[in-house]
Structure 1
Amino acid sequence: MNDEKEKDDSCCTNKGCSSELPKKPKELKFKKSLDLHVSPAKPATDACCADDSCSATSSNETVLEKLSETAGKLGGYSRESVKQKGNARTYLIEGMDCGSCAMTIENHLKSHAVVKQVSVHFAAGKMTIEHDNSVEDIIKEVSKAGFKAALMSNRRTGEAKLDKSSMNAVVLSGVLLMCGFIGSYTGVSSLLINALYAISIVLVGYKPARSAYYAVKSRSLDMNVLMTAAVIGAAAIGEWFEGATVVWLFALGNIFQSRSIEKTRNSLRGLIDLAPPEAYVKRDEQLVRTPVEEISVGDVIVVKPGDKIPLDGAVISGDSSVNQAPITGESIPVDKHAGDTVYAGTINEHGSLEIRVTKLVEDTTISRIIHLVEEAQEQKAPTEAFVDKFARIYTPIVLLLALGVMVLPPLAGTGSWGDWFYKGLELLVVACPCALVISTPVAIVSAIGNAAKNGVLIKGGAFLEAAGRISAVAFDKTGTLTEGKPKVSQVIPEEATQEELLSIAYTLEEYSAHPIAKAVADYVRERGISTASGESFRNLVGKGVAARIGGTEYFAGNLKLFLELHVSLGELETRIQSLQQEGNTIVIVGTASTILGVIAVADQVRESSVRALKGLQHSGIRQVVMLTGDNKGTARKVALQTGVTRYFAELLPEQKVDAIKRLQGEGHRVAMVGDGINDAPALATANLGIAMGGAGTDTAMETADIVLMADNLEKLPHTVKLSRKAIRIIKQNIWFSLMIKAAALILIFPELLTLWIAVISDTGAALIVILNSMRLLRFKGG
């Protein structure tokens, strides 16, 4: 940060800080319906102060109490989200190629008293239903509506297979259609030709007609209803060839659509099949091959080099490198030693590992990712919800128009009944907004699947759209931009050699649990310097530690401790102030009369954070902001190292909320990135909450809108680019669908449109929309 940045209202040095934020307390809604009521912080003209006296005067108790409540609620939410309630079951549904198909199934099942609740999700190809009758009864009812259902197991494998009978029917129907067409030019009896056309219609029109019956019965309109009406109408006016061509093209188009949509729905099958179904369990020094469902927490499993790890656990013996890309998206294998955590579905690359199981198969990280992603695919984005509402209004209106076209002009004497009836049939075929309805959900499912394979968990279409529209990203500093693990940055001996200084410091700090003390002890230990013999250890709360070494009492602590001891700092005082301004925490080592030296400790900036921030700026993010509770000097140093465009320092948790609101007040859509519960208020206030390190944190996986599974930010630019690409593709799909519909409607009245061209325009547009959306599955983010 340079001086100009400081003058730009990002930080202040005066004590009279005041805030321009609203003073009225505002209820803060936490994602997942967890409420936090945050009182405004002490007014401050800026987001940070260099003076210690600048602190919030509003009560912190409200935030802390609510955070405590939130933490309690999170556990309950986590379990409820994974477990099914009562008699609720989930089924895979095959054959849905339009959003209105889902509505038909829903309405049909709701009419049965044994069904308490049902929800069918077109994009995910799934149905969640609570019922009292048998699974077979539900499958039978779904088949009546013209679709196939199968109970979804916890460990399903493989992709949905294309129904071969449907393909055979289409082929045979096409042969009969072609025979009839050729026969009409070779003098064959018109009765025989029409019979061939009729058989062709029945072969591929039976299923749509059955689905149409149940759609009408359940008071919903879908493409099956409109297509069946068009074919019956064409046969009624003697246009058997037109009717047969329409239904054959419709069936062929449905097959291609179903194949494409199933490929999108199956985009996560690779994740599901990552974890092996069996593991080698160590029992009395014997290795027993055991299904993972039969393995309990605490069992010891052995994973050989090259094998996939079957369950989450902790390494108890062995050293190896593990490829964690399936979970975290990290391209570089991670070294694992005794005590380290490993995840199901990751690959053991080198040495053999003995692992103590910590989670059952249904609770592993990979299982939770799959569950949450599938749950996300079922949630409608704002654009999708709008399109669905539009389609529900649009389709009945066009149906009424079609009836009007069939009846009103002939009654007015402006043409024959046959001509206007045919135009009405064309309008019926054009009416179904199939391409428009699937334009959004297929794109969202593809994008969420792509993100999951890259170690990013997006909780739903709404959050995908939000990520594509953000203009500012705010980061917590400690543990997000920095390692969160302080390390020794400088050693300054004064009245002792460096080795003597470090030996005494090691003796004093060795048994302290404070992160700064641990950093000093680790630094000395790595250099092989031994401790001195100490006794009478004392902990000086808020100041440091003391102990007697060789009959002399030594101290290690902060500047405040040595000022109280009245020890002269001499020229070191200026050096210490300079180090503090650069973001270092100072540990002074000495006696009651002499300073032996100074050790500077600082949190280290993550290299991955620097790369991620550059990637965000290249993605068009205008403001990259850092929020921290640290002092101004530390904030400035980290800002210079990472390249953030703005920083807010010396913030309490509720003041981070104020900083987020301030950015929003400036017109930004803000994403907040954090890794701890102390960031919960800011994550909730932001337009988008992003947590990192989700692979090791159940809370992060449940509470944030987007979770970066790896403990770094490198996948954040990919997420932003993917989200923006998804929004562009959704807009392309919507405009393309509307233009095709408009063109088809215009061509009806100059008699340039035929029924079979109308079918091609509808099914063709839907197929193009699906294929365009599937590009998101292969998006690399370059």
Structure 2
Amino acid sequence: MTTANKKEYRLENLTCASCAMKFENNVKSLPNIVDAQVNFGASKLSYSGEATIKEIEDAGAFDGIKVVTGTQRKKESSTPFFKRRENFVTLLSLLFLIAGSIVSFQKGETHVGAISLFTLAIIIGGADIFKDGFKNLVRFEFDLKTLMTIAIIGAAIIGEWREAAVVVFLFAISEALEAYSMNKARKSIQKLMDIAPPTAIVKRGDELVELSTEEIVIGDVLLVKPGQKIAMDGVVLSGKSTVNQAAITGESIPVVKERESTVYAGTLNEEGALEVSVTKLVGDTTIAKIIHLVEEAQAEKAPTQKFVDRFAKYYTPVIIIIALLIAIIPPLFFGEWMTWIYQGLAVLVVGCPCALVVSTPVAIVTAIGNAARQGVLIKGGVHLEDTGHLRVIAFDKTGTLTKGYPEVTDFVPVEGIDKGELLRLTQAVESLSQHPLAKAIVTYARKNHAESLPATDFQSVTGKGAFAQVDGMTVSIGSLDWIQEMAVIPESTLLHAETLQQEGKSVMAIALDGQFCGLIAVADPVRAESKTVIDKLKKIGIQHIVMLTGDHPITAQAIAKRLGISDVRASLLPEQKLDAIKQLNGQYGRVAMVGDGVNDAPALAAASIGIAMGGAGTDAALETADIALMADDLEQLPYTMKVSRKTLRIIKENIAFALGLKIIALLLIIPGWLTLWIAIFADMGATLLVVLNSLRLLRIQK
């Protein structure tokens, strides 16, 4: 669908998957519509072309569909159960059914009073079914209501008035329960939409004014009090507080925010007051993008759903033909026309494809919505299914399995040298350097409360190290080879340095006035959770894990050994990572690549599934990855695998339920046990089993 003339509307009263398909076809048939797509999970219509709201609502009149604008934030009113028209009508139909049954037991089923009461139950409960069924019959459109209309009228014609009334009542119950269950599944989207507040307190000049988020512009300053939700994405100008980001990233532990920290719309400010400079308009915030991408993901049909849709297209006409043959052929040989016509009508009812059609989308909608609330953005049913089939995962090392920045791991002064004093001298030199390793040393010194000393005559020696004058001494810090040019390093120390290097650490030496005084080892530390995550993935069923890195092979092998990864590919340039992913794809069929979403973009794009870390902080990850882990947290990866595998299993179960119950019911034709009420129970039971089974996905937690 082209985006140039694309319009979007939210839909109310969309009740079933079959209704969504019919509504989509009706909109497509409007004269000035180029293309249209109905997102059943999100209750949303997207189309290209021109049409008035009245034309669109007329296209959905068969289901009572109403249209609201895509940006409209409407608080849905909750109507009490018995005040809903469809439920009141169903209850009234039940009362007439009970009354008719009482009369029929006392005076017989052919008594005029019983027939009159059953007729009232049929007319009251089935008016909406008949209205749509007759329209469809005239157009030769055979959907659920068409089949039900034929079955109910056929039952009445052959004198099965009570059975017809029971079918009407059970069908109404089935539709009400399906609508309730689907609304529960859709709440995952509605909860996301309610995360960000609709208004905020904004500083305009010397005044504080409350504005709707649509009126707030980039550069406005928000005042966020303790206990309030942050309304817009922005950067903290002043104040310090902890912010609960669980709604966006899935992180359970609040994050400290201070000056220059990034904050997101929909997150909860817990302790202190913050002033936030707005950096994005309401439609561009991270939560707005998440909502949009989740809705698009729910609209995208998974491979299984496409297959089921194609199957259902041919399945319904086949059922009608089978029902017709059952009603006509056996009586030609055995007689008993009424019996076989009744069996044919029962086949029509049990053959309704409702449960089959809803078997996949309800699971996809539920899984993607629940994952989004846990901080995992899965951008489509196809990616959800593919992830469920994964057996191989490739990890980028830096920033994914490791923290992505260097830290001091070992500080070893020579015997007789005071550690605190040496650390102060080292900090004085490195505080003047711009090298990443220097920053790690300064951070380490501050954590150990080392006093800051002044340094003069600082000089950096490219590729070797740096030196400066501190307290009248020349303090030199750099590579082992460079320090060995000016000082003697004991053999035992060199052996210790070699051991540290084999552990994947960068080792530097310190000299004071040309005399060796100590070693410093710096490494990009492995994330605390990396080993646990790798172990969990292996238990889940990931058979092969690969590490791809541009680091030196010794460093890469040391980290891989700690994590239990056997396949290590080191010293790779970005294009070589891409080649490695292509080779793995060819070898294993499906491969996921986990990276930071920016530096690893080519490899992420080439992988069957690209999984980006820290999606909340980078637009690139949200736009390019197939799956974004919104928090910079590897623990979300096993959860994602668990959700995907569980969804695949539930989809298979749903299809088995949908077809299995119908096959069992159809087999009852052989002994002549299939009745209309058993048929409707089989159809209703299959639909409810499918929906309730899918709702189990809401219970999966990290």
**Both proteins in one fold, TM over 0.5:** yes
Task: Indicate the residue corresponding to 1:133 in structure 2.
Answer: 51
Task: Indicate the residue corresponding to 1:176 in structure 2.
Answer: 96
Task: Indicate the residue corresponding to 1:89 in structure 2.
Answer: 8
Match of 2:404 among 484, 487, 492: 484
Contact 2:597 2:620 in 1 (8 A): no
Partners of 2:356 and 2:39 in 1: how far apart?
16
Contact 1:93 1:127 in 2 (8 A): no
Task: Indicate the residue corresponding to 1:580 in structure 2.
Answer: 501
The Cα shift of 1:570 comes to: 5.1
Task: Indicate the residue corresponding to 1:630 in structure 2.
Answer: 551
Q: How does 1:355-434 map to 2 (within 5 A)?
A: 355-410=276-331, 412-434=332-354
The Cα shift of 1:159 comes to: 7.4
1:351 aligns with 2:272: yes
Q: Are residues 204 and 560 of structure 1, via their aligned partners in 2, closer, same or farther at CA, if it must alter by over 3 Å?
A: farther
What is the SS of the residue equivalent to 1:301?
strand
1:768 aligns with 2:672: no
What is the SS of the residue equivalent to 1:330?
coil
Match of 2:25 among 102, 107, 110: 107
Answer with 674-683 or 427-436: which moved more. Answer: 674-683
Q: Are residues 482 and 215 of structure 1, via their aligned partners in 2, closer, same or farther at CA, if it must alter by over 3 Å?
A: farther
Task: Indicate the residue corresponding to 2:450 in structure 1.
Answer: 528
Contact 1:230 1:425 in 2 (8 A): yes
Partners of 1:144 and 1:202 in 2: how far apart?
17
1:672 aligns with 2:593: yes
Task: Indicate the residue corresponding to 1:454 in structure 2.
Answer: 374
Counterpart code for 1:712 = D
Task: Indicate the residue corresponding to 2:674 in structure 1.
Answer: 753
Answer with 633-642 or 703-712: which moved more. Answer: 633-642
Q: How does 1:450-599 map to 2 (within 5 A)?
A: 450-493=370-413, 498=419, 501-526=422-447, 527-535=449-457, 537-545=458-466, 555-559=476-480, 561=482, 569=489, 571=491, 572-590=493-511, 594-599=515-520
Task: Indicate the residue corresponding to 1:46 in structure 2.
Answer: none
Partners of 2:511 and 2:369 in 1: how far apart?
58
Q: Are residues 159 and 734 of structure 1, via their aligned partners in 2, closer, same or farther at CA, if it must alter by over 3 Å?
A: farther
Task: Indicate the residue corresponding to 1:118 in structure 2.
Answer: 36
Structure 1: unaligned runs, 5 residues or longer: 1-79
What is the SS of the residue equivalent to 1:677?
coil
1:297 aligns with 2:215: no
Partners of 1:191 and 1:679 in 2: how far apart?
78
TM-score computed with the length of structure 1 as normaliser? 0.83
Counterpart code for 2:301 = K
Partners of 1:154 and 1:645 in 2: how far apart?
53
User: In the TM superposition, what whole-angstrom CA distance separates every residue of 1:656-675 from its partner, at most 9, and x where no partner exists?
Assistant: 34444555565474322111
Contact 1:491 1:598 in 2 (8 A): yes
Identity %: 47
Counterpart code for 2:217 = S
* Alignment RMSD: 2.9
Answer with 630-639 or 700-709: which moved more. Answer: 630-639
Contact 1:157 1:273 in 2 (8 A): no
Contact 1:94 1:149 in 2 (8 A): no
User: In the TM superposition, what whole-angstrom CA distance separates every residue of 1:300-342 from its partner, at most 9, and x where no partner exists?
Assistant: 1121112212211112222211111111111111122212111
What is the SS of the residue equivalent to 2:276?
strand
Q: Are residues 156 and 701 of structure 1, via their aligned partners in 2, closer, same or farther at CA, if it must alter by over 3 Å?
A: farther
Q: Which has the higher contact order (CA 8 A, sep 6+)?
A: 1
Counterpart code for 1:770 = V
What is the SS of the residue equivalent to 2:408?
strand
Answer with 386-395 or 523-532: which moved more. Answer: 523-532
Task: Indicate the residue corresponding to 1:649 in structure 2.
Answer: 570
Counterpart code for 2:666 = L
Partners of 2:72 and 2:535 in 1: how far apart?
41
Task: Indicate the residue corresponding to 2:105 in structure 1.
Answer: 185
Contact 1:160 1:262 in 2 (8 A): no
Partners of 1:297 and 1:402 in 2: how far apart?
64
Task: Indicate the residue corresponding to 2:645 in structure 1.
Answer: 724
Partners of 1:340 and 1:217 in 2: how far apart?
64
TM-score computed with the length of structure 2 as normaliser? 0.92
The Cα shift of 1:696 comes to: 0.6
Counterpart code for 2:532 = R
Q: Are residues 457 and 119 of structure 1, via their aligned partners in 2, closer, same or farther at CA, if it must alter by over 3 Å?
A: same
Task: Indicate the residue corresponding to 1:230 in structure 2.
Answer: 151
Partners of 2:123 and 2:253 in 1: how far apart?
57
Counterpart code for 1:140 = D
Length, aligned pairs only: 696
Partners of 1:586 and 1:153 in 2: how far apart?
57
Counterpart code for 1:674 = G
What is the SS of the residue equivalent to 2:148?
helix
Partners of 1:533 and 1:437 in 2: how far apart?
74
Task: Indicate the residue corresponding to 2:118 in structure 1.
Answer: 197
The Cα shift of 1:566 comes to: 7.0
User: In the TM superposition, what whole-angstrom CA distance separates every residue of 1:55-103 from its partner, at most 9, and x where no partner exists?
Assistant: xxxxxxxxxxxxxxxxxxxxxxxxx99xx64251222242432x33222
Task: Indicate the residue corresponding to 2:84 in structure 1.
Answer: 164
Task: Indicate the residue corresponding to 1:287 in structure 2.
Answer: 208
Counterpart code for 1:107 = N
Contact 1:91 1:151 in 2 (8 A): yes
Task: Indicate the residue corresponding to 1:55 in structure 2.
Answer: none
Contact 1:108 1:145 in 2 (8 A): no
Q: How does 1:594-613 map to 2 (within 5 A)?
A: 594-613=515-534
Counterpart code for 1:558 = S
The Cα shift of 1:775 comes to: 0.9
Task: Indicate the residue corresponding to 2:248 in structure 1.
Answer: 327
Contact 2:486 2:515 in 1 (8 A): no
Partners of 1:430 and 1:100 in 2: how far apart?
16
Partners of 2:567 and 2:105 in 1: how far apart?
78
Partners of 1:174 and 1:611 in 2: how far apart?
57
Partners of 1:218 and 1:102 in 2: how far apart?
18
What is the SS of the residue equivalent to 1:279?
strand
Contact 2:401 2:527 in 1 (8 A): yes
Counterpart code for 2:335 = G
Contact 2:611 2:628 in 1 (8 A): yes
The Cα shift of 1:562 comes to: 5.2
Partners of 1:521 and 1:86 in 2: how far apart?
56
Task: Indicate the residue corresponding to 1:56 in structure 2.
Answer: none
What is the SS of the residue equivalent to 1:629?
coil
Contact 1:104 1:220 in 2 (8 A): no
Partners of 1:322 and 1:169 in 2: how far apart?
49
Contact 1:308 1:344 in 2 (8 A): yes
What is the SS of the residue equivalent to 1:262?
helix
Q: Are residues 491 and 522 of structure 1, via their aligned partners in 2, closer, same or farther at CA, if it must alter by over 3 Å?
A: same
Partners of 2:54 and 2:36 in 1: how far apart?
16
The Cα shift of 1:497 comes to: 5.5
Task: Indicate the residue corresponding to 1:69 in structure 2.
Answer: none
Partners of 1:116 and 1:669 in 2: how far apart?
36
Structure 2: unaligned runs, 5 residues or longer: none
User: In the TM superposition, what whole-angstrom CA distance separates every residue of 1:6-50 from its partner, at most 9, and x where no partner exists?
Assistant: xxxxxxxxxxxxxxxxxxxxxxxxxxxxxxxxxxxxxxxxxxxxx
